[in-house]
């Protein structure tokens, strides 16, 4: 175990300006009464005649007064002039806030954090099973011990975010933008213990990164399937809003939208939308379902330059995290997804008593499904033996495959059930 309770360098923040009123110290007050002696008479002095000012001095004071008034009006006009409204082309209506804690003058994307080797057999397990619905207190008690504070030391500042422990031997999932440009990294557990973390791998396009601490017996979070979510389900977030001081903060809300395509820095990400409060420092932390399972990694919030915007947070769903993380753990990079070349209905249809399948509505000529003999109008019942109830079920099975592998589909055609084998040789663009 290394560097427990290490002194963490706080990120440099702007100096806080506080107006201070200091009450003057108490002064002794003495009431004095003077009684005039009876044998003395008070002589009132004759009032002095006011001196007649010279005409030249009067004109000088008039000139100085006019000059002062003119200067005061000019200063007031300068201070009260409205700020120019930015052009929409330069300042778009919506701004996306990745949670980099401090901006740097010359940002560098290179990560020089000491490395941990890939291919060590570690794996992120996403389960489709869940237990009973938990209270919000039970959710926090279950997940918070697995949430860590991530502090990446950059060349001239620090980046602060959150992370989630997903194996008991110290593998941690966080956002790539938190460690981008990092030279070393420290993680702080809920208990206050701190560890030097090493960098395993990351993917900037999907904004995910994996860290490793050399420790065992750590509390690991349970990851659930985001495809089981529906709009309106309860959602919870745990993170470190505004940095280290408020770490372990819990916020709650609902799932506001599913499979929301959002363009971020020129790339499109398919995300979960939630109204659970997300702030600077929540990035990399978990979005949690009502069963206490992590179903997303919080990544961005939306704000507007022209209006007040609240409750628009987004998280990377575990349905895509599963494949990305396991590719990074095994290969150190994300492998391309294979193309099936088939479009199906969103939900399955009962084609016979207790037989459900996804109807094939479109084919890509020459793709894997076409070459395997799949036809428009067929119903896909199973993929690699897994029953298909929605199109997301088919995508989930596809994500488990890489180029060069095979995938088996069970079809229903004209009352006959058959199996076809797809040769996955072409990648999804």
- 202: Cβ contacts below 8 Å, ≥ 6 apart: 111, 176, 179, 208, 209, 210, 328
Catalytic residues: 177, 207, 283
**Number of C-beta neighbours around residue 278 at 10 A:** 28
Predicted pLDDT of residue 52: 55
Whole-number Å distance between alpha carbons of 393 and 400:
11
Predicted pLDDT of residue 266: 75
Report residue 142: phi and psi, to 5°: -75, -40
Predicted pLDDT of residue 306: 55
Predicted pLDDT of residue 250: 94
- 200: Cβ contacts below 8 Å, ≥ 6 apart: 115, 116, 118, 171, 209, 210, 211, 212, 328, 329, 332
Which pairing describes strands 267-274 and 313-317: parallel, antiparallel, or unpaired? antiparallel
Whole-number Å distance between alpha carbons of 118 and 213:
14
* Positions of E strands within 175-278: 184-188, 194-203, 208-212, 223-224, 234-239, 249-264, 267-274
pLDDT along the chain (429 residues), means of 10: 50 39 39 39 48 58 72 67 46 38 54 96 93 96 96 90 96 96 94 95 95 96 95 94 79 93 81 89 93 94 63 90 94 93 92 92 94 96 92 88 94 94 91
Whole-number Å distance between alpha carbons of 372 and 305:
52
Q: What is the 3-state secondary structure (H, E, C) of 74-134?
A: HHHHHHHCCCCCCCCCCCCCEEEECCCCCCCCCCCCCCCCCECCCCCCCCCCEECCCCCCC
Predicted pLDDT of residue 399: 85
Q: Which two tokens stand for residue 310?
A: 């609240």
Which stretch of DSSP H or E encloses residue 159? Answer: strand 158-165
What is the residue whose two structure tokens read 């440009």? 181
Which pairing describes strands 355-363 and 386-387: parallel, antiparallel, or unpaired? unpaired
Calculate the alpha carbon distances from 337 to 210, 294, 428 in Å.
20, 24, 6
Whole-number Å distance between alpha carbons of 125 and 112:
28
Report residue 315: phi and psi, to 5°: -135, 150
What is the residue whose two structure tokens read 């399955």? 348
Predicted pLDDT of residue 33: 36
Which pairing describes strands 126-127 and 223-224: parallel, antiparallel, or unpaired? parallel
- 319: Cβ contacts below 8 Å, ≥ 6 apart: 126, 225, 226, 227, 392, 395, 396, 399
Q: Which residues pair with 359 in a beta bridge?
A: 379
Structural domains present in the chain: 90-335 (2.40.10.120), 342-423 (2.30.42.10)
Predicted pLDDT of residue 85: 43
């Amino acid at each position: 175990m290394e560097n427990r309770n290490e002194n963490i360098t706080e990120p440099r923040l702007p100096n806080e300006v506080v107006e201070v009123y200091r009450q003057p110290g108490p002064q002794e007050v003495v009431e004095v009464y003077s009684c005039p002696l009876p044998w003395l008479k008070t002589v009132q002095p004759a009032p002095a005649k006011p001196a007649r000012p010279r005409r030249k001095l009067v004109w000088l004071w008039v000139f100085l007064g006019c000059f002062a008034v003119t200067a005061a009006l000019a200063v007031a006009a300068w201070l009260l002039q409205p700020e120019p409204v930015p052009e929409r082309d330069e300042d778009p209506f919506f701004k996306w806030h990745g949670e980099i804690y401090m901006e740097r003058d010359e940002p560098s994307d290179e990560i020089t954090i000491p490395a941990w080797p890939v291919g060590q057999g570690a794996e992120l397990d996403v389960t489709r099973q869940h237990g009973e619905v938990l209270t919000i207190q039970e959710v926090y008690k279950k997940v918070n011990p697995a949430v860590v504070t991530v502090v990446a030391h950059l060349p001239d500042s620090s980046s602060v975010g959150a992370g989630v422990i997903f194996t008991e031997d110290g593998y941690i999932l966080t956002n790539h933008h938190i460690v981008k440009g990092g030279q070393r990294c420290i993680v702080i557990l809920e208990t206050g213990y701190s560890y030097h973390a090493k960098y395993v791998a990351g993917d900037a396009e999907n904004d995910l990164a994996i860290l490793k601490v050399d420790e065992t017996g750590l509390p690991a979070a349970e990851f659930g399937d985001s495809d089981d979510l529906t709009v309106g389900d309860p959602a919870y977030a745990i993170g470190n809003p505004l940095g280290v001081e408020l770490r372990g903060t819990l916020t709650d809300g609902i799932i506001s939208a599913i499979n929301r395509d959002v363009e971020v820095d020129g790339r499109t990400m398919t995300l979960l939308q939630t109204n659970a409060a997300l702030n600077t420092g929540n990035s990399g932390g978990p979005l949690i379902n009502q069963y206490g399972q992590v179903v997303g990694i919080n990544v961005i919030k939306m704000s507007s330059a022209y209006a007040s915007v609240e409750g628009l947070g987004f998280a990377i769903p575990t349905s895509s995290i599963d494949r990305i993380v396991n590719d990074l753990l095994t290969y150190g990079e994300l492998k391309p997804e294979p193309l099936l070349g088939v479009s199906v209905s969103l939900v399955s249809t009962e084609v016979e008593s207790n037989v459900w399948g996804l109807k094939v509505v479109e084919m890509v000529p020459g793709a894997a499904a076409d070459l395997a003999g799949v036809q428009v109008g067929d119903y896909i019942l199973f993929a690699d033996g897994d029953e298909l109830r929605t199109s997301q079920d088919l995508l989930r099975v596809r994500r488990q495959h890489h180029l060069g592998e095979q995938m088996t589909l069970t079809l229903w055609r004209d009352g006959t059930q058959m199996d076809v084998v797809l040769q996955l040789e072409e990648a999804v663009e």
